[in-house]
Amino acid sequence: MKLEIKRIKVNDIIFGDETIVKDGVLTLNKEELITELKKVPGVVDVALDFAFPGDEIRIIPVKDVIEPRVTVSPKGVRGFSGVNADIVQLGDGVVHALDEVAIVTIGDIVGFQEGVIDMWGEGAKWTPFSKTKNIVVDLKCDKSLKPHEHEATVREAGLLASELIGLAGKDCTKFVKEEVYEMGMPDEETKKYPNLPKVVYVEMLISQGLLHDGFCYGINTRFTLPTLLHPNEELDGAVISGNCVAACDKITTYQHQNNSVIKSLYARHGKDINFVGVVISPELTTLDGKFRNADFVSKLCSQLGAQGVIVSEEGYGNPDSDLVMIAERLEKKGIVTVLITDECSGWDGLSQPLTDAKPEAKAVISTGNVSKVVHLGKAKKILGDPESIANLAGGWAGAYDPETGTMSCELNAVIGATSEIGFHNCTIKVL
């Protein structure tokens, strides 16, 4: 498979008479976009705004972040396969992406685990989306919708917005960067690199219902077994977020489209490792489900001949058990296993970081403490409802002070703060 992602430089975003990219300026026809988004069943009203890096703007409560793109080859492919478009095989072709531009959906709260993005100050340090030029889509939904219907409506509207805005780059011919991801099937790559260790990436996805679901080719992963993907499929939009898991480690659709682990492994493929595939593994709530998925992950990695496996988690709490169960099974087969997870260590950082442990889970990369409290300054402009922090994971009643405009919360409430695929701003300092 060969996937080319050609990135279009966007210096500014404005409203105008047509939706187009020209001379580094992305122009959006506001009325047309709102008209199209209001066609999504359940959407009552839509407002559009912008938030740029350094602006003293707070966005809350954030539901998802999506990169606007358009597929230019094969022709006729639009949207997200199996979600808001026909089912097509992803991972081959040419994609134009609006570089460092993001669609951010907000609106009435769906579940308590949504989040906040600050574009400046202390809050900007903790979210990767303080660095993107954000098109904020504020969605008002039919009040009669049930929570799951509400989530689906917002998800569909956000994906549609990214598709419609991505079309602006269809005819662009100048690019700031061109990324090429090319890899054959595992047996082909092994023939090319017979002496390199085979490495598999296992990506755990929240798949627990209760507004905690990921999707692959439009299928809720709660109803699937662990599945082998070509790395290009995820980079091409096969995996999307449909969950309201804690904002800090929710893997947004944007992060799936730009998965840090996949890109890092690709950079080393053919040099010091043979990157043979991605296994997505559902995180279920039942003990039988956890056993079944851990067994299947172990089997798939063994069938691929893996000598090393990287496992990333999504969320924390009971998924910690899935994480260490997978490590136990892989290590007992002689497969070197490295885990990526965040910690829930309390405000003082002294509590037990994970809810489960196994002696085989011995190589662990921490992406930070979700319980760390941060204090956020007064915004000049708020997109959304700051009072919603009282209902978000990591927030509490009184966390927002309307008199001073300041806000306090745990990193739990900050979108992408402790991303367990490494798509965040935290680093480790070795003393």
Write out the catalytic residue numbers.
244
Tell me how far the alpha carbon of residue 124 is from its chain's centroid: 18
Distance CA 25, CA 96 (A): 15
Distance CA 420, CA 399 (A): 26
Contact of 159 with 240, CB cutoff 8 Å: yes
69, 73, 261 from 94: Cα distances, Å: 10, 5, 21
187, 209, 236, 255, 256 from 276: Cα distances, Å: 9, 30, 17, 21, 18
Distance CA 99, CA 89 (A): 24
Distance in angstroms between the alpha carbons of the first and the last residue of the chain? 42
Select from 281, 241, 280 the least CA-distant residue to 416. Answer: 241
